[in-house]
Amino acid sequence: MNNAPDSKGLWWKIALPIIIGLGVVIWLFNSEFNAESISEIRFTPRVWVCIGLALLAVVGRDGGMAWRFRVLTDGELSWKRAVNVTMLCEFTSAITPSSVGGSALSMFFLGREGIKMGRATTLTMTILFLDELFFVVFTPIVFLLIPYDELFGFGSKDFVEGVKIAFWIFYSLIFLWTVVLFVGIILRPSWIRSLIIKLFSFRLLRRWKDGATEFGDNMVATSRSIRERSLGWWVRGFAATTLSWVSRYLVVNALILGFVATAPQAVVFCRQIVIWTLLMFSPTPGGSGVSEWLFREYYGDIISVASIVMILALLWRLLTYYLYLAVGVILLPSFIRKKKK
């Protein structure tokens, strides 16, 4: 039996986000193109050092995720296998809508690495909780550190108002989802399971009842598995999550530092929380197109030369997106060939 997936479908999923992302970059370049400003761009030693720092931040991002897999599996996954799972999760995020993400599918990658499916499901729900918890905790800190106008008080009025409304709606949804996960996997899993079953008993939602019931059952099983975990286990898992997300933000800091030495680095860093919150709900694969446009709009006031903004947006996406498409294409064939355990 041939277990390989439809190769045409896979390659189309890889090609589509590339086409969307590069198409938006070309469109923005065309609308902002200035031959004189392009000629003034220089890749000085400082720029190359900062690109090196951005690459180091990428290592921190992936290292944090791999460390989290190591912590949550109590060291059962070797560093190599943890890195493989990390890269496959990132690849999946790159070819699916950002609202889906790779973390939600990590149970399948963990299963292929020898983790039993029940435990892999537990770990996946724990990972989802830690990711959402980071956003819930970190966002208030950002608003304490940076004046509100520095995060939203720029650009056209319509754009700023739209961003503010979308951000607070999405943050509210993340907050509610985090509460559901906390109650469901730590406090009262039976309550959430009963609520889910009742909710999906309504006629409009009945077609998804079986899947929702399975989700509730997984939540109860997760609770049994992790409620007895030590505080140190949770602290290490959250520390790894924080390392991964902070490193993800620092990629932009390093790139902007190379081209705009006077840029306010704290503002550059904190604006990332808004960008990534919006990208979590992007309908395009891996946020393609939306990411490039948001970067241009969100950092245009800090980087005065439009051509440099677009070059930085392209470098940012190369390091945080296209890189994972390439690595995924390399790793996926061996993953497909690996027998289920």
Q: What confidence score (pLDDT) does residue 341 get? A: 45
Packed helices 323-337 and 7-32: angle between N→C axes, nearest 10 degrees: 180
CA 215 to chain centre: 22
Predicted confidence at residue 201, as pLDDT, reads 82
244 neighbors 61 (Cβ within 8 angstroms): yes
pTM of full prediction above 0.95? no
Amino acid identity for residue 1 in this structure? M
DSSP-H helix ranges across the chain: 7-32, 35-39, 45-72, 79-95, 106-112, 117-145, 148-152, 157-182, 189-199, 209-226, 231-259, 265-279, 290-299, 306-317, 323-337
**Residue 101's pLDDT band (boundaries 50, 70, 90)?**
low
Average pLDDT estimate for 152-173 = 83
If one counts every other C-beta atom within 10 angstroms of the C-beta of residue 135, the result is 19
| Spatial distance between the Cα atoms of 10 and 218, rounded to a whole number of angstroms | 29
For residues 266-274, give the mean pLDDT.
91
Give the pLDDT confidence score for residue 11 in this predicted structure: 60
Percent of the chain with pLDDT over 90: 28
Is the pLDDT confidence value at 267 over 80?
yes
At 108 the pLDDT is: 80
63-92 per-position pLDDT tens digit? 999 999 999 988 889 999 999 899 988 888
Residue 3 banded pLDDT, cuts 50, 70, 90: very low
Q: How confident is the model at residue 234 (pLDDT cuts 50, 70, 90)?
A: very high
| pLDDT the model gives residue 157 | 74
11-66 confidence digits (pLDDT tens): 666 666 667 666 666 665 565 555 555 555 677 889 899 999 999 999 999 999 99
pLDDT value, residue 39: 57
**Residue 50 burial (CB < 10 Å; 0-12/13-18/19+)?**
buried
Q: What is the pLDDT of residue 37?
A: 52
The mean pLDDT value for 125-135 works out to: 91
> Do 132 and 177 contact (CB within 8 A), yes or no?
yes
Q: What is the mean pLDDT of the chain?
A: 81
